[in-house]
Structure 1
Amino acid sequence: MSTEQVPAEGASHPTAEQAITDRVNNRSERPSSDAFKAFMTSGWAPRPDLGVAPLAVAPYSAARRRALSGSFPGARLVVPAGGLKVRSNDCDYRFRPHSAFAHLTGLGTDREPDAVLVLHPVAAGTGDDGGDHHAVLYVRPLASRDTEEFYADARYGEFWVGARPTLDDVSVETGVEARHVDELRDALAKDVGEGGVSLLLVEGADEDIAALVDAIRAEAGLSDAAQTATSDDALTEAVSELRLVKDAHEIEQMQLAVDTTIAGFAEIVRNLRRASGHRRGERVIETTFDAHARLEGNAVGYETIAAAGAHATTLHYTTNDGAVRQGELVLVDAGVEVDSLYTADVTRTLPVDGEFGEVQRRVYQAVLDAADAAFAVARPGSRFRDLHAAAMEVLAARLEEWGMLPVPAAESLSPEGQQHRRWMVHGTSHHLGMDVHDCAQARREMYMDGVLEPGMVFTIEPGLYFKADDTTVPEEYRGIGVRIEDDVLVTEDGNVNLSAALPRTPDGLEEWMRSVRG
């Protein structure tokens, strides 16, 4: 892999001790002669037009910005995309913008590192779409080919990363005025403090922008750390809660993510025989799905769980280096993130040889019944917490029936009991969207205690996990882990299972696996 900017060839080498941070570029050199510069910046044919067009999401993004604007009149709102993150030395991870930035601009995939969306306050009702703010995107645009950036800048140079959009291109795509990121500091500082403008930042998106905002606040005499933290918390909370109810474009993208994920599960089934013949069969499953996600979407929405046998009792098992054996179950928790950055989150527990054993089927059916109980209350007017309560009633009753609970189910379900949670310590649901655990900064009264509304999308994912060394359960249950997870949209009169095309019942799964294998 190539490096970032490198020392000029023929440059003098300092005799003083070289700083640690400067040593990553020691392995190569770039010419610095005037002849090289002149030759590198000449002789290029005209660039082809990138052919940009307005994004389909642009009207929805505008409505989201308008909704956010109404909550913060008079404040300047700063929403960074974030920067590239170092994987090792001078090698970066593939870029993914902060979800709030992507949600409010419509820019997905790997766009735009180091960009910042700013909502500038204007007179009430005179802003974008009659709102209280005017949005500006500060980006690093395409540089001319007669500049050193063209061939020497590994982060932005066209020679390194390809042609970037111009400012006009960004504006056409997003419907937002675009300006050079070099103007950002002055734009953020304007009228802050005595001018009456407050500066609010989405937290956790970009440390460099956070430092810049802190410096501007200090210069303006706004040094009350507690007050500024409260203000930033309010904006961070607001952009998270803005995603609790999905618009029509988001729902379309969620369904696309789920459909693409289901196709990935079919690829897994086609490769189960290969997995069971490999010493790291779990990794065969993982790489099968991850390759599908990269080919058909942007990437995986989170690290794939491919947990065979007793590994399925480890909730967030992502090592995925174990064997996949005939007669066992494999729990696969996976989701494709599509180019718009919306992700699915689906789990199925599959019999490796295509048929459930008696005890495996018994555990699977109990989990399925718990999921169905949660589906029954997933409708407008219910509270989010009701989903979990409904599932737990079923699981507690089944565990009592099997003689595993040390107390009656009713006592276990009480706040003072909860013994049944030994075998399901996680929650039954979480909101889903651009983040696999979406809306994570929302207030408790809007999330766990919130009332379900049409347009909300979340998972329903009960499970039972009997660890191999759990002496409180009969031996035939030990080492069995089952989770069933679907992605659910609340509608006006109930719900829709977005992942219903992937069979859920034991018989349905067995038949589907046979049909996929051929």
Structure 2
Amino acid sequence: MKYDPIDSNLFKKNRKKFMAQMKPSSLAVFNSNDVFKTGADSTMPFKQHRDIFYLSGADQEDTVLVLFPDCPDPAHREVLFVTETNDHIAVWEGEKLTKEKATEVTGIETVYWLKDLDKKFFEMMTQCDTVYFNTNEHYRQAVEMETREDRFIKKTKAQYPAHNYAKSAPILQRLRAVKEPEELELLQKACDITNHSFRRVLDFVKPGVWEYEIEAEYLHEFIRRRSDGFAYTPIIASGNNANVLHYIENNQQCKDGDLILMDVGAVYANYSADMSRTIPVNGRFTDRQKQVYNAVNKVKNEATAMLVPGTLWKEYHVEVGKLMTSELLDLGLLDKADVQNENPDWPAYKKYFMHGTSHHIGLDTHDYGLLWEPMQANNVFTVEPGIYIPQEGFGIRLEDDVVIQESGAPKNLMGDIPIEVEEIEDLMNK
């Protein structure tokens, strides 16, 4: 991995928090992701399952974590299984975790080779009553493929039908939503890399460049600063492309007078940044572009101030909708009749701002979090209002990542990334 080593104490804390929530006489199992095939003998780059990474720091395929806090054998209260490495594998695929290195990375003392999983797991299953499975219950999940975790669950239920089964997801939803200080440092690193990359792009963009060239500038700077690349598929949307919310083709030429909406973020140590900025191709906003831009920025700043402990996500979005409605009235995009006659289920402002304002961010770009419970300190949220005007040929979205504090205003992890109109224009015309 490109990132610097992470202190294993983070993962020890995470495991301790998880095990404190488990039922008596229970164990929990976490599998790494599959290596996905693309055809013939080719594979996609491996991406670790965020839950096993959160609990162990093991960033390698073919890895299984078992947590069994009440195990009568103290050596089996935390167990990691990894693929046995050898000189042949080292030559062809590079260094893999040895048992000693696995302990150093994870803080787990008991490490077995994966070939011993069935035997050791049988022994532990004879000593427990309940098994926690790691099912995907994220509110946005839409995964159709069968995962390594799915196969393990099927196999275990068939072999051990008399056990009780529970879900790890409700525990992880709460734990992962509240970041440890070390996690906030990793998120800050991802945001700092994104900052450097955005400044590089400001110096690069001019009329005639192509969207994919801008994408390449981001990636170059990400990689040279020890990121593994984009945290999600980047959006580089010039002109009317910005009015397609998930535009990812990035294959058009940027024209003089147009704006470019860029929704990009670096990933660092599996932690995601999520930034949106909108800049003028020629380095100068028109008066109308500036007017709309400042309206979006105003909504972003006022929405950010609402992110304090106790805020409810649903009510927060209602209040942001009121802010946006006021700005759209001032911009002449809505009139009073539009608001008076609006459908409560799809308010008038949704014509120009149709997506949500904030989501949890962390190990996943849309991270774990319980949206029906009050916000609390060390939750990390995006703030990303936008105004999209196809009839005027541009769309604007601005987005930062912020940490809720115990008291006072949230901390903006992207506070050093240029956002004001004057900053953008000055940097593009220096």
Q: TM-score normalised to the size of structure 1? A: 0.75
**1:254-313 deviation digits (Å, cap 9, x = unpaired):** 11110110101011122213xx334xx000111111222222212210111100000011
Choose from 111, 114, 117 the match for 2:62.
114
Which whole-Å CA distance do the structure 2 matches of 1:185 and 1:213 have between them? 13
Structure 2 gap ranges (5+): 137-144
How many Å separate the matches in 1 of 2:53 and 2:28?
Answer: 15
Corresponding position of 2:81: 138
Say which is worse superposed, 202-211 or 307-316, in terms of deviation. Answer: 202-211
Distance 1:268 1:199, change over 3 A: same
Question: Counterparts of 2:346 and 2:52 in 1: how far apart (Å)?
Answer: 43
Q: Secondary structure at the match of 2:350?
A: helix
- 2:21 alignment partner in structure 1: 71
What is aligned with 1:34?
Answer: none
Partner of 1:344: 273
Distance 1:180 1:463 in 2: 50
Q: What is the one-letter code of the residue matched to 2:241?
A: H
- Residue 453 of structure 1, CA deviation: 1.4
Shift of 1:406: 5.8
**Please, which runs of 5 or more residues in structure 1 have no aligned partner?**
1-53, 151-156, 469-477
Q: Cα distance 1:182–1:417, how it changes in 2: closer, same or farther (>3 A)?
A: closer
1:201 maps to which of 126, 133, 150: 133
Q: What is the 5 A alignment of 1:434-449?
A: 434-439=363-368, 442=369, 446-447=370-371, 449=372
The answer (yes or no) to whether the contact 1:391–1:428 under 8 Å persists in 2 is yes
Task: Note the C-alpha offset of 1:416.
Answer: 4.6
CA distances 1:462-496 after superposition (whole Å, capped 9, x unpaired) = 0011124xxxxxxxxx2110000011111122211
- Match in the other structure for 1:366: 295
| Match among 150, 156, 160 for residue 220 of structure 1 | 160
Q: CA RMSD in A?
A: 2.4
CA 1:408–1:189 in structure 2 vs 1: closer, same or farther (change >3 Å)?
Answer: farther
Partner of 1:455: 378
1:412 Cα deviation (Å)? Answer: 6.6
- The equivalent position to 1:431 in structure 2, one of 342, 352, 360, is 360
Residue 101 of structure 2 is matched in structure 1 by 169
Inter-partner Cα distance in structure 1 for 2:133 and 2:314: 31
The match for 1:292 is 221
Verify the 8 A CA contact 1:454 1:491 in the aligned structure 2: yes
Bigger Rg, structure 1 or 2 = 1
Supply the distance in 2 between the matched residues of 1:66 and 1:467 (Cα, whole angstroms). 51
Task: Find 1:312's aligned residue among 239, 242, 259.
Answer: 242
SS at match of 1:316: coil
The one of 91, 116, 125 equivalent to 1:159 is: 91
| Percentage identity across paired residues of the two chains | 26
Q: Distance in 2 between matches of 1:260 and 1:191?
A: 44
What letter is aligned with 1:69? Answer: M
Matching residue's letter, 1:67:
K
Partners of 2:406 and 2:161 lie apart in 1 by 50
User: How far 1:410 sits from its partner (Å)?
Assistant: 5.5
Cα distance in 1 for residues equivalent to 2:298 and 2:365: 24
Q: Does 1:480 align with 2:394?
A: yes
1:390 positional shift: 3.2
Shift of the 86–308 alpha-carbon distance from structure 1 to 2, 3 Å rule, reads same
Instruction: Give the TM-score, by structure 2 length.
Output: 0.90
C-alpha distance in structure 2 between counterparts of 1:401 and 1:498, whole Å = 30
* Cα deviation digits, residues 386-412 of structure 1 (max 9, x gap): 442333212211222344336547547
Q: 1:306 to 1:386 in 2, by over 3 A?
A: same
Give the whole-Å Cα distance in 2 for the aligned partners of 1:81 and 1:367: 40
Distance 2:345 2:366 in 1: 28
The corresponding residue for 1:327 is: 257
How many Å separate the matches in 2 of 1:119 and 1:251?
Answer: 25
SS at match of 2:271: coil
Deviations 1:164-192 (A, max 9, x none): 23111111221112110111122333353
Contact 1:201 1:210 in 2 (8 A): no
Secondary structure at the aligned position of 1:487 is classed as strand
In 1, distance between residues paired with 2:112 and 2:133? 19
- For each residue in 1:339-360, what CA deviation from the matched residue of structure 2 results, as whole angstroms up to 9, or x when unmatched? x111110111001111110111
Q: Does 1:241 align with 2:174?
A: yes
CA distance in 2, matches of 1:188, 1:412: 62
Higher RCO, Cα 8 Å, sep 6+: 2
